[in-house]
Amino acid sequence: IGGTYAVPILLLPEVAICALGKIVRRIVPDEEDDESSSSSSSDDEYCSYSVRSMMSASWSADHRVIDGATMARFSNELKYLLENPLQLLINQ
């Protein structure tokens, strides 16, 4: 269908659930340009862009069991592993 975001709904006895969106290609500024643009405000400054694959992830959790910081750490770890899939093999 091509949806970008979803709202996952927990059903008992689930504790957490994730809804993954469609992978899309987006134009984003290069990372090294983020630092230089904040220190300089020149209108004719060169800025480079790249096309990146991006995917949204929406989380729901039972906060009686899991707090938001734990979900954020898990989400960051999932992001890292998706960006570096060889780590799944190396860390075993």
Positions marked catalytic: 63, 67
Contact 21, 4 (CB under 8 A): yes
d(CA 29, CA 17): 31
CB 91 within 8 A of CB 77: no
